Amino acid sequence: MTRRNEAFKDAINLLDRGECDRAIKIFEQIVQNEPNGLDAKFNLALCYMIKIGIDLQEEEPYILKDLIDEEVYAIRALPLLKAILKERVEDEEVEEMIEGTKK
């Protein structure tokens, strides 16, 4: 298994355990090293969405205490999601996440 695959797997495991801050650091490094890697971009955007309180299973986002953090993560997630949407045209999950950044 390559280092990239190990790092990706580690980040996914962290994300699954709810350790978004640690997963974000790994996904950011993967995206920096592989700018065309859609899976890492998607999961990084997902981490950002979780940080701003978007639960894709719920119809409405819950409100975080700190609006500034919410805005920062929305700003970080949006370009990643738009890049993914260029490759995965009409991906409903990505479109929902983009809409979630606007709330």
Domains in the chain, CATH or no CATH each:
3-101 (1.25.40.10)
In DSSP notation, 33-65 reads H-TT-HHHHHHHHHHHHHHTT--TTSSSPPPPS
- Give pLDDT, residue 29: 95
Per-residue pLDDT of the chain (103 residues; tens, 9 = 90+): 688 789 999 999 999 898 999 999 999 999 999 988 889 999 999 898 888 775 544 444 444 444 556 777 788 888 888 888 888 888 898 888 888 887 6
Radius of gyration from C-alpha coordinates of the chain: 13
Token pair for 30? 């993967």
- Give pLDDT, residue 61: 45
Distance CA 11, CA 19 (A): 9
- Give pLDDT, residue 31: 94
